[in-house]
Copies of this chain bind each other. A is one copy, B any other.
Amino acid sequence: MRVPADHPGVAELFAVLAYGEISAFYRLADDARMSPSLQGRVAFASMAAAEMSHFETLHAALTARGVEIYAAMEPYRRALDAYHASTNPSNWHESLVKAYVGDGIAADFYREIAGTLAPEVAEVVREVLAETGHSEFVVHEVREAVRHSAADKDRLMLWGRRLLGEAITQAQYVMAQREDLTDLVIAATGDLADIAALFDRMQLAHADRMAVLGLH
């Protein structure tokens, strides 16, 4: 069953995605301070810039629906800020893993939902979930780091698990925030068993991403 384009949860979905872009921008800019090289600072700045281009897309989509973006984002600030506060990297390698894995988890979740939305809505969602680039840089840096240290590898594997756990916790909190959004997610995924299957698929995708980083 497709969720119609005029479902009131669509604006909510765009709003939570928009605040997600802003908060990812500032998280990347902050975390880049830990980079030992200018290359790392440039890679994170480029990823952050890509988030802002996605934000503009969502801004335009919300404006086209007559929705004021700042008011619409407000209800989601607390949950997304809480996610970042609870997963504050303590070193550069944790920042790299978070940039790669954290974005991926969010993208999986929204992409699953997008599959059941009206095509014009799904297109916006897919566009803003496109790769922010520079993942090659991240993959290379993390693989190098864990190749030389089993202790670092263990720590980063635990870190990845914590990122997944916090993301799922906050995703459930975000969904529970607003009735229209909850309604859209349920309409999109089906029943509770389907939601459980969705989280299972997210765990598998997460494990694949960790493996790409050499964390398996």
Contact = CB atoms under 8 A, between A and B. Distances in A.
A73 B38 contact: yes
A22 interface: yes
Quickly give the copy total for this chain: 2
A53 interface: yes
Contact of A52 (B26, B49, B56): B49
Given A46-B55, A49-B51, A49-B53, 19 more contacts: A22-B41, A22-B42, A22-B45, A25-B45, A25-B49, A26-B29, A26-B32, A29-B29, A29-B48, A38-B70, A38-B77, A45-B48, A45-B52, A45-B55, A46-B52, A46-B56, A48-B48, A49-B49, A49-B52
Interface residues of A, number: 22
A39 interface: yes
A135 B52 CA distance: 17
A49 B59 CA distance: 15
Contact of A48 (B38, B42, B49): B49
A73 B41 CA distance: 13
A41 to B, nearest CB: 7
Contacts of A45: 22, 25-26, 48, 52, 55
A41 B26 contact: yes
